[in-house]
Structure 1
């Protein structure tokens, strides 16, 4: 029996509504297994994520299953935490990767980025990308490169003309 077919108690309905509201404004959601994380470790991760505009919440698999597409049920095994937000997912992936390298926890199961499913390997690949501002700078540099090169070529042509005129002037001064 699908969980949606059962009638929820009011307190469970409010939890389901809260999860839906949190995820409705999020650009990404990463699902992780937080098994073995103690309170100080969890607090440290939450504080680090909060600096980048992300949130970390422990949720029941059954409640999160209601908010996710049907093909996401394989993510909901074991103890589940959701990491979500509206900021730069690359920065958040880097934080998770660094924290996991230090503590071996949490274990990323997968997630969603702008409505598309991503695997745990994809989250690791996201962590390898440069930050959004760096990517914008690279793109801007790439777009400006032809203009900069054109200015350089034009400047070189003007410089060459000045050198030729200076050589002609020097030659005429020697003849005179």
Structure 2
């Protein structure tokens, strides 16, 4: 049974299904994937979601193979993965991990960028690519278990990368701590000064 070779058809199928040869020609029609393959794919979706800090859902219709390869490369550089997904299986995966289904998130052509390491960096990568492409459209996403709109994704993209945010947070936490340390140390310094002055006075009286 020959594997589907049509570039147009391949672009319309989930990329992992194409790579794993889950669709075949039979009598001029596409044969659906088996139950075992569906379960395997569902397990992958659940794993990707559980490993992600954020998900960004997009409509990729119109992107060329070259453009999708470029986008996948940029997403990998941002510490994540970009996958074209099957909506029906995605709904099952979302339900399994407790993600609320939102509007048209899983309607039409859907690709999900999984942010494994840095949610703001992933959002920035997708938003910037969408600005240079007339085809890639941001549908929305999830930050943790919370659904966010396309506008929220754009706002997330404006945040600094995670390492910078951590440094800023550390600076915020350390500033009050240093002030507290000075407050605690100051009475001890004052007491030491009083004791030293008293000691010097006693010494001068003894010499007299």
Same fold (TM over 0.5): yes
Using a 3 Å threshold, how does the CA distance of structure 1 residues 132 and 18 change in structure 2: closer, same or farther? closer
Number of residue pairs the alignment of both structures matches: 144
Contact 1:65 1:73 in 2 (8 A): no
Contact 2:127 2:138 in 1 (8 A): no
Q: Tell me the secondary structure at the aligned position of residue 101 of structure 2.
A: helix
Q: Map 1:60-71; keep pairs closer than 5 Å.
A: 60-69=86-95, 71=101
Q: CA deviation at 1:92?
A: 0.6
Q: Tell me the secondary structure at the aligned position of residue 84 of structure 1.
A: strand
Q: Tell me the secondary structure at the aligned position of residue 68 of structure 1.
A: helix
Could you tell me which runs of 5 or more consecutive residues in structure 1 were left unpaired when the two chains were aligned: 1-7, 155-176
Where is the helix percentage greater, Structure 1 or Structure 2? 1
Using a 3 Å threshold, how does the CA distance of structure 1 residues 74 and 138 change in structure 2: closer, same or farther? same
Match of 1:83 in 2: 113
TM-score, with normalisation over the residues of structure 1? 0.72
Match of 1:39 in 2: 65
Q: CA deviation at 1:96?
A: 0.9
For residues 54 and 62 of structure 2, the distance between their equivalents in structure 1, rounded to whole angstroms, comes to 24
Could you tell me which runs of 5 or more consecutive residues in structure 2 were left unpaired when the two chains were aligned: 1-33, 187-208
For the aligned residues, what is the CA RMSD?
A: 2.2
For residues 116 and 136 of structure 1, the distance between their equivalents in structure 2, rounded to whole angstroms, comes to 22
Q: Deviations over 1:34-92 (max 9, x none)?
A: 11111110000100110121100001111111111453353111100011032110001
Match of 2:41 in 1: 15
TM-score, with normalisation over the residues of structure 2? 0.62
